[in-house]
């Protein structure tokens, strides 16, 4: 039996808007919502990579696929007024740390002003009952201590990407307090939450400067893998893990209102907190012709140690990770090999989604 908020009984016929539906996580989420019977509209720029999961898995089939920029308030007002979503899942963003260094203005513009425009469009139109804004585990003022961060820890962000996402958290807090306060829920009817997830893996991620895409690209070309921070520890998890949390959180907001508002962490178990080098070694065990490693030092700051405490999600939502890191890497590699083999990737992707749903 599927967990709360993950069953077709809840999602069937629900009007849902997904921003960033052409991205890696957005594509997985949109397929999942389709499989649950939701009426999905998507608002996003074109896919940022070629190839992309969105195109390979034919994610646009069966949804209202709209293209646009979150920095265009008029376009957001139009799609929300036209589709009247009951639930909004906001994933659209500039998601890369190193791109944030190269283009800080574009990163802040997309992530901060885009989120602000979405919140304002939701406020003006007034049809949305539940909104989940997806940020990142990097919103915390990371002191690189050993214990995991809880949702009430101080926000920060050393680099422009992390800082821009912390700004989104502050925007959410401000709009919740100013326009959607809990004590006036009967009047406005909207419950708002933010979701902070760790480093996600999975089939169909072709973004540059992410670990697994870089590793698979190098090995496919019979080249060694270049690592910048092999000792860096990250909260690794398959993309479906936090996506399950987002769906459960959205359902909780829809049914229980402000009780489920605020910030939520969705991170892996302690056993899956591994270094970059350890993840590559695990993957190499499954790749028969894996080449060696080379270290390329970078002057750009990236966190060395980051852990999440997901106790709130576990205790309140009943959410928990279902796949070990080894299972996650196996599914990621199997997807990649199926793509190289020329398989139908919509079928493969839905097959892995159904396999994960069977573990719930």
SS3 for 83? Answer: helix
Average pLDDT over residues 117-122: 98
Q: Band the pLDDT of 3: cuts 50, 70, 90.
A: confident
More confident residue, 146 or 214: 214
- pLDDT at 301 (0 to 100): 47
Pull the structure tokens for residue 244.
């399950």
Pull the structure tokens for residue 145.
């201590």
Q: Which of 161, 175, 229, 260 is catalytic?
A: 161
Q: Which of 145, 30, 163, 160 is nearest to 92 (CA)?
A: 30
- pLDDT at 303 (0 to 100): 53
Average pLDDT, the chain: 91
Annotated active-site residue 356? The verdict is no
What is the pTM assigned to this prediction? 0.94
Q: Would the pLDDT of 175 be above 50?
A: yes
339-357: buried (b, 16+ CB within 10 Å) or exposed (e) per residue?
A: beeeeebeebbbbbbeebb
Give percent of the chain with pLDDT exceeding 90. 72
CA–CA–CA angle 185, 312, 315 (5° rounding):
105
């Amino acid at each position: 039996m599927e967990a709360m908020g993950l069953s077709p009984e809840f999602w069937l016929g629900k009007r849902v808007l997904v921003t960033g539906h052409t991205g890696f996580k957005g594509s997985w989420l949109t397929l999942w919502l389709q499989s649950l019977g939701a009426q999905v509209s998507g608002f996003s720029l074109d896919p940022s990579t070629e190839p992309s999961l969105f195109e390979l898995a034919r994610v646009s089939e069966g949804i209202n696929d709209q293209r646009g920029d979150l920095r265009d308030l008029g376009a957001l007002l139009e799609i929300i007024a036209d589709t009247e979503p009951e639930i909004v899942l906001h994933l659209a963003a500039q998601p890369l740390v190193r791109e944030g260094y190269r283009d800080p203005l574009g990163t802040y513009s997309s992530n901060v002003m885009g989120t602000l425009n979405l919140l304002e469009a939701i406020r003006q139109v007034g049809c949305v009952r539940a909104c989940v804004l997806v940020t990142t585990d990097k919103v915390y003022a990371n002191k690189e201590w050993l214990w995991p961060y809880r949702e009430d820890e101080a926000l920060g962000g050393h680099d422009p990407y992390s800082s821009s996402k912390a700004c989104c958290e502050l925007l959410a807090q401000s709009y919740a307090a100013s326009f959607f306060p809990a004590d006036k829920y009967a009047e406005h009817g909207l419950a708002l939450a933010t979701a902070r997830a760790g480093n996600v893996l999975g089939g169909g991620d072709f973004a540059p400067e992410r670990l697994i895409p870089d590793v698979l690209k190098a090995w496919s070309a019979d080249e060694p893998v270049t690592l910048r921070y092999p000792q860096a520890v990250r909260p690794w998890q398959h993309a479906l893990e936090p996506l399950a949390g987002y769906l459960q959180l959205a359902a909780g907001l829809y049914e229980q209102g402000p009780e489920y508002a605020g910030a939520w962490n969705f991170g892996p178990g302690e056993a899956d907190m591994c270094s970059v080098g350890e993840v590559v070694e695990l993957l190499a065990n499954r790749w028969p012709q894996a080449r060696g490693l080379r270290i390329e030092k970078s002057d750009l700051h990236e966190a060395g140690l980051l852990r999440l405490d997901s106790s709130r999600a576990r205790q309140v939502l009943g959410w928990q990770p279902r796949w070990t890191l080894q299972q996650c890497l196996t599914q990621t590699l199997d997807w990649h090999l199926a793509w190289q083999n020329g398989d139908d990737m919509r079928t493969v992707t839905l097959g892995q989604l159904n396999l994960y749903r069977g573990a719930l």
